[in-house]
Chains A and B, each alone.
Chain A
Amino acid sequence: MSEETTTKTSYHIPVGPIHPALKEPVYFEFELSGERIIDVTVKLGHVHRGVEWAGMRRNPIQVLYLAERICGICSYCHPAAFTLAVENAADIKVPERAEYLRVIQAELERICSHMLWAGVAAHEIGFDTVLYFTWQIREKALDLTEYLTGNRVTKGIMTIGGIRRDITSDMLPRVKRDMQFFKDNFEKLRHIFLDDKTVKMRSQNAGILKKDDAIKLCAVGPTTRASGVKKDVRTGESYFAYGDLDVKCITPKDLTGTVNGDVYDRIIQRLLEVKQAIELIEQCIDEMPAGDIVSEPKIPKLMNQIKKVEGEGVGRHEAPRGEVIHYVKLDGKSDHPYTWKVRAPTYNNILPWIPMLKGEQIADIPIVAASTDPCMSCTNRVAVVKDSKRYELTKEQLHKLSIEKTRRLMK
């Protein structure tokens, strides 16, 4: 077929909100020319659950368990950020041992999350043997989580002013043994992901996010670090025990010497972070001081203290997917928070999809989209995305819209 006879008009493909290829509801609209993607529109807001509203009708201790249920995989980092926000507002000091224990839990969650992601990424490119291999390692991490916290997924370990369970000396051999297991298997996993031709073929030069774009679009976590931006809350802000530990902001440059910002770099980035997490847990176990694990063991007394506080606090935590921010305002009258606002990391990592996907092929969509480790249910807040313009609805606007709809229906 000659150049003149080909039709040059592009066509649209809508994908989602409910689609077999997607694990969570999100709506894409692709503008395609043949196999190439010319433009992408992302629409969110399909799983808004009103978690923040529910949180404003509960006391901070109850909100901890509600925050845990924002996301199944990040079931530690949301209560952690909420606790940091309340501690910031109420000026509660945390015992030093609890700070170290908090780091151990946070890094264990990072191992679980990145292992799960590595499996999903392998599954997206059709390499299912690696999916089973990584999830076998993850199973060990989940067993360790169950041993340390009492449950596999909803850990319920965080509390305001400390942590709920201690790691006693008789538990340490098990932790050390599992860390050795992760280290042994990490080498194998590194070899599979970094040297295998199948993975390289699909991930190198796919879904490139340039450093400028990453900064401009405020990408967070491994997504931005894989593009060479040194952004990490663990090094940027001293919280938990990260100030005492040897934490470096790592980028793929540490291993390969160059930063391309492609899917391959994001794989390297996450694998390096797993290694860093193992090292951090080992460091914590060695350096952990003895002492209390909660500042105030009597919860009613703690609640009375929080009840009197009038002020606001911000909690920032480096979740496996990036920076999670919780904002809490306490009014000093009731024991419920006056306001609670959550910003999950995927919220920032949605817009980088647009530069990543432009110019790619349709078959690359799953792996490129999965490379930012998206979590839709965490992301859906009051923000409304319509025609790729983001805006938030105020009460008056919502009311107006509601009246308009009623009028429309009456006609």
Chain B
Amino acid sequence: MSTYYAGLLADVGILTLGGLSVYIILATGQLSLGNAGFMGIGAYITSYLTVTLGLAITPALFIAAAASGLIGIIVGFPALRLRGIYLAMATLGFGEMVRSFFLNLSAMGGSSGFHGMKHISVGYIWLWATGVLLVVMLLERSRVWLEMQAVHDDETAAGLVGLNATAIKVGAFGAGAAVAAISGGLFAHHHVYIEPGNFGFERSIDFVLAVILGGSTVGPGALVGSLVLVMLPEYLRFLADWRLAAFGVLLIAVLLVRRQGILDRSLFRRLSLRGAA
């Protein structure tokens, strides 16, 4: 495989993890427009661990994910006080604050960025991406996921069947933050150079787009969306200068015609049955 296509595939894997981070939180009814912040936290912590402390990439990723998860839980508590678009805006603000934080962190390069990471292969990225995706897909068949759906649908009624909505919503934030951190750590070690600008609002929006386009009701939707977001511009090359506009048109078209995104539960079931047959 050419380096170019390997690069694209790596981007798909990294974006899939980002999409999953949004998906997990969205499943509880919370829209986060700031997950790039958690991605950045993961990127910088992992890079610090591998470059400055000499840790191997895998334990570094676990540590970064745990740290980010903790921050996610801390963020999740004030987030409980906000709903809908107000929560979305607050998470947007959070993402921007994280970006600004890293701009000021001269220890990690500030605006000049950070480098020195050892390059990792596309295969390693996909090990993580498929691993996390499988865990999510397993989780979707578990009781915890039903509880998240109940909290998403009606928080009050959920409380009345014994569900601790607070724990579920905060937990989701933590889990999402951890997954986004992994995305960031992998990003850092694939591009071997990171700067705060990599983890801004546009990245957060990419994550959300991957989920909304690919399918917001099933885990593999994030994968489908990432494929579309990364690969489609390649196939639209023939449109030359109008590539991006065409992409915008496609986005609006999908939103108008199929709100739940490309992949939904029934389509997924049909595809997997056909595959099994």
Q: Do A and B bind each other?
A: no
**Which residues of B are interface residues toward A (Cβ below 8 A)?**
none
